[in-house]
Chain A
Amino acid sequence: MSSPRLTAPSWSRLVRELGSHRPHWLTGLAIAVLVALVLAALLAPLLSAHDPVTMVPSERLRPPSPDHLLGTDAMGRDLWARVLWGARISLVVGAGATLGAVVIGLPLGLVSGYFRRLDPFVMRVMDGLMAIPGILLAVALIAIVRPSLTTVMIAILIPEIPSVVRLVRARVLSAREEPYVEAARLLGTGGAKMLWRHLLPNTVAPLVVQAAHVFAAAILTESALSFLGVGIGTETPSWGNVMADGRLYFSIKPALIFWPAAALTLTILSINIVGDALRDALDPKTSKGKG
């Protein structure tokens, strides 16, 4: 027999755990919604004949028609196009902020949980961040720098970092007491190797779930900022500023708020459902165990 395979990555089991889990129909639906949303955002230029920002004064506040699927807004812009293009901003900001929060939060959490001397410093900074309401912090940050896609993303991700750090740290703190970590220590495993081999893989599952929630929160925050007029400039449609534009005409044309709000709600709901399903699928106690 040839020598056994050594390269089996620690992650393969994680992937298999996900694959072997048969999802609930609601989860399936939520996943379908998210896939459709991503496709819609990617194909926005093909799915609507109109430009989302070009104003056509003669076409103001038109009702839905074959040409304008959802009608037009007060500036004569096509609402369908604006909602589609808004999905782009929401998803990009959501994904970017989540990625950023994980990329910054994960190492901080690992270090804080494993190297106990650094813990107080990291955690006091996190406590400070948590003491400020996320949206206020974001507004303040944007006020300092010029609003752009990047700055909005950064402003949104910073308040999300503490939740990632705390989660990772808590996982590391409990995992480091496990006998298998002590056994590894007795085998001479230390520092970075310990983190990479034993602590990180056992942190990933809850982190994936947390990331889903960060993703939803980031999309919400972005919409709120745009709605308040401190987000990405009005020249770029986002669900938040589409709603803000429609606010004045709410009494004569509620569809201007209804459609972006519906898109936002459906997205957040779907992400949260998928997040919960991930949690159930990745938790060894609820998935396939002995019961």
Chain B
Amino acid sequence: MTPTTTSLLRIRDLRLATLGPARKELLHGIDLDIRPRETLCLVGESGSGKSLTSLAVMGLLPPRELAVTGGEIRLDGEDLLAASPRRLRALRATRMAMIFQEPMTALNPLMRVGDQLDEVFAVHTTLDRRERRRRVIAALEDVHLPDPEKLALRFPHQLSGGQRQRIMIAMALALEPKLLIADEPTTALDVTTQAQILKLIEELQERHGTAVLFITHDMGVVADIADRVLVLRHGSPVEEGETRRVVGAPTADYTRELLAAVPTLDPRPARAPSSATPVLAVEGLCKTFGGGAHAVKALHDVGFALRPGRTLGVVGESGSGKSTLARCVMGLETVSSGVVRIDGTDVRQLDKAARRRHATRLQMVFQDPNRSLDPRRTVLQSVVEGALNFGVDKRTAAEKAAALIETVGLPRASLDRYPHQFSGGQRQRIAIARALMMDPEVIVADEAVSALDVSVQAQVLDLLMSLQAKFGLAILFITHDLRVAARLCDDVLVMRRGVAVESGPAERVLTRPADDYTRRLLDAAPGRSLDQAARLRAAEASIPAAPPGP
């Protein structure tokens, strides 16, 4: 369908496999074309092969582990798979460039950013020192960094994440490559920064005529920036086409599932307000780290009340203090001032034993499911740990654990296995079962679904909601993702630099924000067009009888 003569990057039937005795094919024939000035998004969940594809193009596959086993990759007509390492090295700077997810690890921490940029010119051009200097400053101006002269003298750690990603982009585009490969370049950034970086890439692309291969797991980002989309799954292409068509009227079931799994920004209707006594109430909470001139006010006068059976979402960008709030509530950090009441009792007024017992009424689910379970203990040992601490006998505890592990959707046999034998989503289920074992009244979930793929994320969110209904749990849900908050929460508290800037019912805060910052967060959330498409799909689906996917 695409005239191949005009495509800048052309991949045909790309196959890739692991080396070594247990040979396994990871890419099963990928085709793609990118024309100049075009943005193609490679989208898929973890393990889909989207990063492998980009590494194969760049010639950066780990040499003794992975190898291309078939197909062809042509950049501007040149066969990249036949190119010598030396030729690839030259091409990598001048014809194609790459930016990564975590700019901090891609920059040399011991070198001033100006010098790192200068190195690009020094290695690949014959410009003299003065001319290089001029080009460095111009490149920094190009990515809209303020005061380039001064900024060039800084070290990477002195810059913010967004600034570092701008430096990476400046380095990538320094030699005017024809192809820019961006591998999840905004995933580690806050939404507002993400929006700026996406805008910057778009602007530079227009100005320099670069083609962009953009790799992302985020359908929202796809909807915002891509001209065309290629959806991958388990190393095979699933669907390809114009963005508007793929997002608006996907033909493949998998694409439809992916789109359906993205929560909309339209908040779900709140449950009827409850008048029960708050199970968790926080008043005037302050937390200061360090002292003297270096004191950091992580929380300043934060308060909220959480009633049984309801969900309060705490949203904000990194550094807003939302995680500190969770940790203070849990007693993992000591508060500087303020009161945390559990069921109306100030925790600090209890004696030690009562406090220990009382504290278990709040349980936490952590962000990283790889690290929240002890790798050397079986699932059963992890799940029953709390119960054994409070004198439940082993048999009773094991039976309860078996019942709970089924409640969270895992087979009983899981109990005898070790955490590394489970996927991220399954481990998060185990962590939830461990929390439920204590019969808590409140579950505090700190970015509990942020490390998961969207489809898995949707399942875990559904699980949380069903458990909430079943056990009457109150949930304090910390997230940076407004879509997740809209889907799960009755009430929302917006944090910024340790201060609660706005709070109220999710329906009101996420649709008619009173605070400027909330408005900016909402505007920056990627994929607004996705929501319209979802509404359209829903409207269409409601005409015939068939409901949209599971």
Q: Mark B351-384, 1 if CB is under 8 A from A, else 0.
A: 0000011011011101110011111111011101
Cα separation A285 to B389 with both chains bound (whole Å): 32
In the complex with contacts A188-B356, A188-B389, A188-B390, A5-B371 CB distance below 8 A: no
- Contact residue among B377, B382, B415 (Cβ-Cβ distance under 8 Å from A4): B415
- Contact A291 B330, beta carbon cutoff 8 Å: no
Cα separation A100 to B262 with both chains bound (whole Å): 59
Interface stretch, picked from A34-42, A148-156, A197-205, is: A197-205
- Contact residue among A183, A185, A197 (Cβ-Cβ distance under 8 Å from B434): A183
A188 to chain B, nearest CB (A): 4
- Contact B359 A186, beta carbon cutoff 8 Å: yes
Any B CB within 8 A of the CB of A57: no
- Contact B372 A187, beta carbon cutoff 8 Å: no
In the complex with contacts A179-B372, A183-B372, A185-B332, A5-B380 CB distance below 8 A: yes
Chain A positions 177-208 with a Cβ under 8 Å from a chain B Cβ:
178-190, 193, 197-198, 201-202
- Chain A residue nearest to B419 in the complex (CB): A180
- Contact B366 A4, beta carbon cutoff 8 Å: no
- Contact A6 B381, beta carbon cutoff 8 Å: yes
- Contact residue among A6, A189, A284 (Cβ-Cβ distance under 8 Å from B375): A284
In the complex with contacts A3-B402, A8-B378, A10-B381, A186-B363 CB distance below 8 A: yes
In the complex with contacts A184-B385, A201-B376, A284-B375, A4-B398 CB distance below 8 A: yes
- Chain B residue nearest to A5 in the complex (CB): B416
- Contact B418 A6, beta carbon cutoff 8 Å: no
Residues on A with C-beta less than 8 A from B389 are 187-189, 193
A58 to chain B, nearest CB (A): 63
- Chain B residue nearest to A202 in the complex (CB): B376
- Chain A residue nearest to B394 in the complex (CB): A6
- Contact residue among A1, A10, A180, A186 (Cβ-Cβ distance under 8 Å from B371): A180
Residues on B with C-beta less than 8 A from A180 are 371-375, 382
Residues on A with C-beta less than 8 A from B363 are 186-187
- Contact B386 A187, beta carbon cutoff 8 Å: yes
Residues on A with C-beta less than 8 A from B381 are 6, 8, 10, 197
- Chain B residue nearest to A182 in the complex (CB): B332
- Contact residue among B357, B362, B380 (Cβ-Cβ distance under 8 Å from A6): B380
- Contact A186 B330, beta carbon cutoff 8 Å: yes
A208 to chain B, nearest CB (A): 14
- Contact residue among B65, B332, B382, B412 (Cβ-Cβ distance under 8 Å from A291): B65
Q: Mark B385-420, 1 if CB is under 8 A from A, else 0.
A: 110011000110111011000000000100110100
Any B CB within 8 A of the CB of A261: no
Residues on A with C-beta less than 8 A from B416 are 4-5, 8
Residues on B with C-beta less than 8 A from A182 are 332, 364, 366
Residues on B with C-beta less than 8 A from A247 are none
- Contact B376 A13, beta carbon cutoff 8 Å: yes
- Chain B residue nearest to A205 in the complex (CB): B376
Residues on A with C-beta less than 8 A from B382 are 180
Chain A positions 42-63 with a Cβ under 8 Å from a chain B Cβ:
none
- Contact residue among A4, A6, A197, A198 (Cβ-Cβ distance under 8 Å from B412): A4
- Contact A4 B401, beta carbon cutoff 8 Å: yes
B251 to chain A, nearest CB (A): 33
Residues on A with C-beta less than 8 A from B360 are 186-188
Cα separation A189 to B332 with both chains bound (whole Å): 13
A1 to chain B, nearest CB (A): 6
Residues on A with C-beta less than 8 A from B332 are 182, 185-186
Any B CB within 8 A of the CB of A14: yes
B421 to chain A, nearest CB (A): 11
- Chain B residue nearest to A180 in the complex (CB): B374
Which residue of B377, B384, B412 has the most chain A CB atoms within 10 A of its CB atom? B377
A116 to chain B, nearest CB (A): 14
Residues of A within 8 A of B (CB): 1, 3-6, 8, 10, 13-14, 178-190, 193, 197-198, 201-202, 284, 291
Residues of B within 8 A of A (CB): 65, 330-332, 356-357, 359-360, 362-364, 366-368, 371-378, 380-382, 384-386, 389-390, 394-395, 397-399, 401-402, 412, 415-416, 418, 431, 434, 438
The 9 tightest CB contacts between A and B, nearest first, are: A187-B386, A179-B372, A188-B389, A3-B398, A179-B366, A4-B415, A201-B376, A180-B374, A179-B371
22 CB < 8 A contacts A-B: A3-B402, A4-B416, A6-B398, A8-B380, A8-B381, A178-B371, A179-B367, A180-B375, A182-B364, A182-B366, A183-B373, A183-B434, A186-B330, A186-B362, A186-B364, A186-B386, A188-B357, A188-B386, A189-B389, A197-B381, A198-B377, A284-B375
